[in-house]
Amino acid sequence: MDRILIQGGERLIGEVEVSGSKNASLPIFAACILTEGENLFHNIPKLKDIETISKVLKTLGVKVDPVEDHTYRIDATEVPYCEAPYELVKTMRASILVLGPLVARKGEAIVSLPGGCAIGARPINLHLMGLEAMGARIELKKGYVEAKADRLRGADIALDTPTVTGTENLMMAATLAKGRTILRNAAMEPEVVELAQVLNKMGAKIEGAGTSTIVIEGVEGLGGVNHTVIPDRIEAGTLMVAAGLTRGNIKLLNCPLHHMEALIYKLREAGVEIESDGDGVRVVGNTRIRSTDVKTQPYPGFPTDMQAQFMVLMSLARGLSVITETIFENRFIHVSELLRMGANIRIKGNTAIIQGVDHLSGAPVMATDLRASASLVLAGLVAEGVTEVSRVYHLDRGYERLDEKLARLGANIKRI
Ligand code: EPU
C-alpha cells in the first residue's frame, strides 16, 4: 500500500494547474445514461473515483473509453442492464447517482444502498422521497433499492435539506419525466449548475440551477454532447492553504475563483494573499497566520470539503479559532492525528476549538477519508521533521497526483 513521506519546511514556489472537478465529473458521467448517443468529455481528472463510476457504467452496458489523457468517450446508445452492484457502490457512495437516470431511461433501477461512511451516516432518504413523488415505486430488498416506473411524471418536490447528489439525482430523473418538476430548497453548488448546463446541452429544459428553485420541463429524449468540465474548487482551495501554510508564492492556473468566494474571504482574513494574475491566480503566504472562525454551510457558504484543510491552517495561527461543522456529524476524524503532530484542538460536539501553536512536528499519521488525508499532507508540509501519511488510497480517490504537484512546487515529498 502506498504511503507518502514528507520532510516539512520547504516554501512552495512556482506554477501549478488545477485539475478537473471530481464532484462535477461524477454526475456528468451518470447523466450519460439518459442519452442516446456519443458523449465526449474533456478535463476529466485522473482519479480512483472516476475509474469507479466508469466501472459502474460499464456494468450497465454503457461504453466508457478513455481516449486521451483527460478525455473520455461515453456511449449509452444501449443500456441493457439496470443493476449497480454492492461491490462497486460500497467503494464509492456517489454511485447512487445512477439511480435517477436509470429509472428515468429504463423504467427500472436496482442500486445497492451505499451505507454509512467515515464522515457520517449519509442517508439517501431525500433521493428516494423525490423519486417516489415522481411516481416511482420504491422497495428496499436485501440491501438494494429497487425503483420502477413506466414513465416518471413531473412533481413539486421540497427537499428538507439541500442535498447535492440528491438534487443532481432528481434533476437528472426529471429531464425525461412527463411534465414539469419543481425542486425546492435545491443545492446551489457549482457542480449542480455544471450538471444542469450539460443536461441542457443534451437537450434538457432546466432553469434556475444555482438558485434554490430548479424547474425542469421533461422532454422525450436526450442526445450526446461535447463538453469540458470545470476545474476543481476543492483542489484549488487545498493548494491555496498549502501556499499559506508554507509562506509560499504560487500561481494556480485554471483556478475557479468565482466558485470559491467564501473560502477566499476566510483565507484573506487569515492573512493569505490571493489575487488574479494574468491567466491564473497568485497565492502568497507572507505573514504569521491570523486566527478566524469558520462554519461549514451549503454553497455559497464555506465548504465542508475544505474544513479539515483549513483546520491545519488555524492550528498554526496566532490566537484562538472556532470551526463548526454543520454538514456531516463525524467530520473531525483528522483531529486526533493533528493532535499527534502537536496541534492544540479541543472538540465539543460539532465544534472544534483551536489554539494556534508555533510549530507542528512530523509523525506517522493515517486518515480514513479523502479530505482528512489531504489535511495531513498539508500538516506534513510545515511540520518539523518527517511525516509519513499512510492509507494514501483515500487521497487518490479525489486528488490527481497531489504529491507530484506539491513536489513540482518545491515540497520535499515522495511516495513509497
Ligand atoms: N442528507 C439527508 N438525506 C439525504 C441526503 C443528504 O439527510 O437523502 C443530509 C446528509 O446527511 C448531510 C447533508 O444532507 O448532512 C448534505 O449531504 P449531501 O447529500 O449534500 O452530500 P452528498 O451529496 O452525499 C456531496 C459531495 C461531498 C460533499 C457534500 C457536501 C459528491 C459526489 N459528493 O455529497 O463530497 O462533502 O456534497 O458538500 O458531490 C468529497 O468530495 O470529499 C465529498 C465528501
67 alpha carbon – ligand 1 mean position (Å): 31
Give the domain range for residue 208: 22-228
Nearest CA to ligand 1 atom 18: 163
Look at residue 250 and give its three-state secondary structure. strand
**Maximum separation of any 2 CA atoms in the chain, in Å:** 63
Within 10 angstroms of residue 47's Cβ, the number of other Cβ atoms is 23
Confidence of residue 92 (pLDDT cuts 50, 70, 90): very high
Phi/psi at 2 (5° precision)? -65, 145
* Helix extents (H) in 60-119: 86-89, 99-106
Residues within 6 Å of ligand 1 by CB: 23, 26, 94, 120, 122-127, 161, 163-166, 187, 191, 304-305, 327-328, 370-371, 398
Is the Cα torsion angle 141, 144, 145, 150 positive or negative in sign? negative
- For residue 249, what is the domain's CATH number? 3.65.10.10
Assign 154 a pLDDT band (cuts: 50, 70, 90): very high
117 in catalytic set = yes
Tell me: do 325 and 305 sit in the same domain: yes
Torsion over CA: 54, 377, 21, 407 (sign): negative
The closest-lying atom of ligand 1 relative to the alpha carbon of residue 168 is 23
Would you list the DSSP string of 175-187? HTSBSEEEEES--
96 and 242 housed in the same domain: no
pLDDT in tens, 262-319: 999 999 999 999 999 999 999 999 888 999 999 999 999 999 999 999 999 999 999 9
Please give the Cα distance from 322 to 314 (Å, whole number).
9
My answer on whether 218 and 240 are in the same domain is no
Average of per-residue pLDDT values in the chain: 96
- Asked whether the bond before 300 is cis by omega within 30 degrees of 0, the reply is yes
Residue that finishes a domain, picked among 170, 205, 228: 228
On whether both 26 and 95 belong to a single domain, the answer is yes
Q: What are phi and psi of 198, to 5 degrees?
A: -65, -45
pTM: 0.98
Task: Supply the angle between the helices 125-133 and 99-106 in degrees, to the nearest 10.
Answer: 20
User: In the predicted model, is pLDDT for residue 121 greater than 80?
Assistant: no
First and final C-alpha spacing in the chain: 9
Query: Rounded to the nearest whole angstrom, what is the distance from the C-alpha of residue 393 to the centroid of ligand 1?
Result: 20
- Residue where one domain finishes, among candidates 210, 228, 246: 228
Instruction: Work out whether the CA dihedral 354, 360, 361, 365 comes out positive or negative.
Output: positive
> Which of helix, strand or coil describes residue 222?
strand
Closest CA to 8 of 414, 411, 416: 411
What mean pLDDT is predicted for residues 352-370?
95
Whose alpha carbon is nearest atom 16 of ligand 1? 163
pLDDT, tens digit, for every residue of 158-179? Answer: 999 999 999 999 999 999 999 9
Q: Which residue, among 107, 43, 129, 8, has the nearest Cα to 377 in the 3D structure?
A: 8
The whole-angstrom separation of Cα 57 and Cα 110 is 13
* Domain closes at, from 228, 248, 270: 228
**Domain check: are 241 and 146 in the same one?**
no
Could you give the CA distance from residue 51 to residue 107 in angstroms, rounded to a whole number? 26
